[in-house]
């Protein structure tokens, strides 16, 4: 990765490699063994992070500063975003995504900036609600990493919504208000994630990990006063998936012979990555094809990973992919670079998920007309919905989705929205009070400064007045001294005239 061209990657092919070109058959076998072939690749960015002593070395924070702002901007504009890290085992994917305490990775830095942006949007009357989900795909099964039952992680099913696409059912959602909340969730999930030691990596990830952050933005507008919250006018819902893929591996490299669990894990990891590669190849082919009739069917359902990422791979999403390579294995590096060369041809069609909210008044008469009290009615409905949900899990098809057309559910939704609005209004008013306190403190500082300046001016004026009086007195004394000297000379002359010695 030459420093003068930050977008290019040059791979030197060993002469004895099976991938060495055989284009020139006229050269002798001895020349073939000594000749070197170079392959050139061009990407959006080629990041060199091997030797920190070199001028083009880039650490996690520098790399995030190049890519992170675009991700955050798309996320808050209402677009779904996905960031994947791919590469062979021990190439640095988890370190790039997670980092460590001294040098955090892309995921902690992204969450930090999302929370900072959320705080800044309070003054613009935009309420941001963040919820975090952390799952892993282990042996083609989805497990919830944030469940409290650590010995046996909760297994979740993947379903498909008719408009939103695939989603993971019954997964734990954590509200994220502070960075400490995210750190707690991340540490909890990482401690539950499946890892193992191989000959290539002491802490090899044995599963694909997906962190999903759901963002709901509600914009409030007031007609007259900017200091009041007003009513909700627009809503945007978006999500960002941060994916740490398990590394592709070969049994001859990892040397886990006789370890059935490790062999099974590696086999299913390679299977899911192979399906992901097939999807990429077909998506790249379809992107280059001008006719819809020639478009191939994408095998998303052949793997749990591709099924979950269906919308992010070629749907309503702005997707980024990081390919990690290392000099450990030439064949893996070569395949990874060719993989990346195909991926950059894929095109997605992302759109902002904005919804205009109705400002129609609530029909309170309809709500009061309910036969029972609100509390008792909600209890009855919750019991009824619990029974329906149990029957639904037993009898429903994987693609069916329960409807929410009950009045009580609408009331629950309305009360949830009002509670969220009151919480945000409290935050908004606190922010305004802090801003007023800051302005008052600044004005008080100006008043104190003016008081000091006025006191100094009066002191200097007093000193100047005393100085003028003193100078005037000195001038009078000087004039009086001159008059005395003149009178003294006149008396001396008169005495000389009346000197008795001069008379005789």
d(CA 123, CA 434): 11
User: How many C-beta neighbours within 10 Å does residue 138 have?
Assistant: 23
Estimate the share of the chain in helix, then strand, then coil, as percent rounded to the nearest 5.
Answer: 50, 20, 35
Q: Is 165 annotated as a binding residue?
A: no
Torsion 182-183-186-189 (CA) sign: negative
DSSP code of 498?
Answer: T
- Hey, which residues does 126 pair with through a beta bridge? 219
Q: Is 463 annotated as a binding residue?
A: no
**Residue 30: other Cβ atoms inside 10 A:** 8
Q: Is 197 annotated as a binding residue?
A: no
**Could you identify the residue written with the tokens 């999403």?**
317
Residue 113, burial from CB neighbour count under 10 angstroms (0-12, 13-18, 19+): middle
* C-alpha to C-alpha distance for 172 and 153, rounded to whole angstroms: 11
By three-state DSSP, how is residue 161 classified? strand
Q: Is 94 annotated as a binding residue?
A: yes
Alpha helices for 163-308 (secondary structure H): 179-192, 251-254, 260-288, 304-308
Is 315 assigned to a binding site?
Answer: no
Cβ neighbours of 48 (radius 10 Å): 15
Structure tokens at 401: 């989705």
Task: Check whether 88 is labelled as a binding-site residue.
Answer: yes
Angle 179-192/106-120 helices, nearest 10 degrees?
150
Residue 92 known to bind ligand: yes
Q: Is 481 annotated as a binding residue?
A: no
Cα–Cα distances in Å, from 50 out to 2, 47, 331, 418?
Answer: 13, 9, 19, 52
* 120 neighbors 193 (Cβ within 8 angstroms): no
Binding-site residues for ATP? 87-94
Binding-site residues? 87-94
């Amino acid at each position: 990765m030459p420093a003068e061209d930050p977008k290019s990657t040059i791979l030197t092919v060993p002469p004895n490699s099976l991938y060495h070109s055989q284009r020139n058959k006229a050269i002798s076998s001895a020349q073939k063994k000594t000749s070197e072939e170079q392959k050139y690749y061009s990407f959006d960015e080629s990041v060199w992070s091997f030797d920190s002593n070199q001028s083009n070395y880039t650490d996690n924070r520098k790399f995030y500063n190049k890519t992170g702002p675009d991700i955050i901007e798309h996320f808050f504009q209402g677009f779904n975003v996905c960031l994947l890290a791919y590469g062979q085992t021990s190439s640095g994917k988890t370190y790039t995504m997670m980092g460590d305490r001294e040098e955090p990775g892309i995921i902690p830095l992204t969450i930090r900036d999302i929370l900072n942006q959320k705080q800044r949007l309070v003054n613009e009357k935009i309420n941001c609600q963040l919820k975090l989900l952390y799952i892993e795909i282990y042996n083609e099964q989805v497990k919830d990493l944030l469940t409290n039952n650590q010995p046996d992680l909760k297994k979740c099913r993947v379903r498909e919504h008719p408009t939103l696409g695939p989603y993971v059912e019954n997964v734990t959602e954590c509200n994220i208000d502070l960075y400490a909340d995210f750190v707690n969730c991340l540490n909890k999930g990482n401690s539950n994630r499946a890892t193992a030691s191989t000959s290539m990596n002491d802490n090899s990830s044995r599963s694909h990990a997906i962190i999903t952050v759901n963002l709901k933005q509600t914009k409030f507008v007031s007609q007259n006063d900017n200091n009041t919250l007003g009513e909700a006018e627009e809503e945007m819902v978006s999500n960002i998936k941060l994916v740490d893929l398990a590394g592709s591996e070969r049994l001859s490299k990892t040397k886990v012979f006789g370890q059935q669990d490790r062999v099974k894990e590696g086999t299913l990891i390679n299977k899911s990555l192979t399906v992901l590669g097939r999807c990429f190849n077909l998506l790249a082919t379809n992107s280059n094809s001008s006719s819809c009739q020639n478009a191939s069917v994408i095998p998303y359902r052949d793997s749990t990973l591709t099924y979950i990422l269906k919308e992010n791979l070629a749907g309503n999403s702005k997707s980024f992919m990081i390919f990690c390579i290392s000099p450990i294995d030439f064949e893996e590096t070569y395949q990874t670079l060719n993989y990346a060369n195909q991926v950059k041809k894929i095109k997605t069609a992302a759109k902002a998920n904005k919804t205009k909210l109705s400002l129609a008044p609530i029909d309170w008469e309809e709500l009061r007309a309910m036969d029972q009290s609100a509390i008792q009615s909600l209890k009855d409905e919750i019991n009824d919905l619990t029974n329906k949900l149990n029957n639904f899990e037993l009898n429903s098809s994987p693609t069916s989705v329960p409807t929410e057309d009950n009045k009580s559910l609408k009331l629950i939704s309305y009360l949830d929205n009002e509670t969220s609005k009151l919480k945000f209004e409290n935050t908004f008013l606190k922010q305004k009070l802090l801003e007023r306190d800051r302005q008052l403190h600044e004005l008080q500082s100006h008043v104190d400064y003016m008081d000091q300046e006025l006191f100094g001016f009066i002191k200097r004026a007093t000193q100047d007045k005393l100085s003028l009086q003193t100078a005037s007195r000195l001038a009078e004394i000087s004039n009086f001294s001159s008059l005395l000297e003149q009178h003294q000379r006149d008396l001396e002359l008169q005495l000389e005239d009346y000197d008795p010695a001069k008379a005789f």
